[in-house]
Amino acid sequence: MSLKSKVIIVTGGTSGIGEACSRHFARLGAKVVAASIQRKEGRTLAKVHGVHFVHADVSDEKSVQSLVSRTLELHGRIDALVSNAGVLRMGPVSEFDEAMWDAVMGVNVKGNLWLAKHVAPVMKGQGRGVICITTSVAAFVGFPNHTLYCASKGALEALVRSLAVELAGYARVVGVCPGTIDTPMLASSCKGWAKPVAEIYAEVEKKIPVRRLGTPLDMARAIAFLISDEAAYINATCLVMDGGTLALPPW
């Protein structure tokens, strides 16, 4: 498996799974453009790991256009897009408001559409490319107080299949479906619980068949394979990476 010299955009590329992807791909010799709204983290990532950082808000089409244009200015092509940016808003459905809807759907769903809109023509012109979208087991599991987030991730499962058919002949579209991964977003989802985060994690680990949380590097390694030429026949599907969680019986 090789990503050497491949030009890869990673959105949400400065935190959690995205940061691990940016670092791992760079180690494999790829030309990485890490995009996010986190300027400080982005500058550090660029300095330490040799990636290019571009400030971008994927919910804003003009920002996405600028990201794509900047990547082409730097490298002249886009071999892969790892569309990983995502946000979480929690609470009972009776407390959701339009601002929460706009935040979650704007980044998690509309952001993926803006990226596909502007990256697809580039890949068509090249004759090839790969788009990998980060979904979640939240697309399949009814997590309490996660209704909006679950809905957004369910939409991405459908988006992967639809884009794969629409872009057939020049771009593969795949997804990764993380389970319980040790990221800042996971930690934020534990806020408000009576137990410390470490205790919650320890209890969760006992229930996962592999007996541990996933790591961002676990995800980065799998994504590296999916966007590589060795995965050329994998298309229109999402790889579930949950340590076996979805196989658990309900008792």
Residue listed under structure tokens 């541990």: 212
* Separation CA 59–CA 118 (nearest Å): 13
- 3-state class of 52 per DSSP? strand
Closest to 32 (Cα-Cα) out of 185, 233, 223: 223
165 exposure class (CB count in 10 Å sphere: 0-12, 13-18, 19+): exposed
Annotated catalytic residue within 149, 170, 201, 233: 149
Tokens matching residue 58: 């994927």
CA 200 vs CA 129, 203, 204: distances in Å: 40, 5, 6
Asked if 233 is an active-site residue, the reply is: no
The counts of H helices and E strands in the chain are: 9, 7
> Could you list the active site residues?
149
